[in-house]
Amino acid sequence: MRCTRYALGVSATAVSAAALALAGSGVAMAGTPPNVTGQTYSNAQSAITSAGFTPVVVSTVGDKLAWPNCIVIHTQQFTQQPAPNSNGSAVTQLQVSLNCNGGVASATQPGPSAASPEGQAAIAAAAAAAASSSSGSS
């Protein structure tokens, strides 16, 4: 009798573990989020969407640039659950924070430090723009 109870307890545990595994398999899982920090939001959006995530802007700093030209300074993966009693499915988001100050900080203009990755990207972009405008004016 004692062996029968033990065997029933083990099989009940196995059945409940299998049920939990099947119940959890309905959640959509996206892959690893792409590292888009330091990129413009327009480039980051493409990479985020290609990786199976939905890009969502959660915060911005500054207002000198339009969102497509802002620099991504932080990302956070988040799964948005569907509304209760709906037939919807979970949406895996990559939430981003943007720096829209533009350029590098100076005594009169806000922006990223010239020593930061964002500042280095802004300096490189300004140099590339200056080089293309000087080569195009010849």
DSSP string, 33-64: PP--TTSBHHHHHHHHHHTT-EEEEEEEE-SS
- In the predicted model, is pLDDT for residue 64 greater than 80? yes
- pLDDT at position 137, please? 52
Cβ atoms of 63 and 100 within 8 Å: the answer is yes
- pLDDT at position 63, please? 87
Q: CA 68: distance to chain centroid?
A: 15
Q: Which of 51-65, 98-112, 122-136 has the lowest mean pLDDT?
A: 122-136
Radius of gyration of the chain (CA): 25
Q: Report the alpha-carbon distance of residue 87 to residue 33 in Å, rounded.
A: 26
- pLDDT at position 15, please? 44
SS3 label, residue 80: strand
- pLDDT at position 76, please? 96
The model's pTM is 0.59
pLDDT averaged over every residue in the chain:
78
- pLDDT at position 8, please? 47
| Alpha-helix residue ranges (DSSP H) falling in 2-116 | 2-24, 41-50
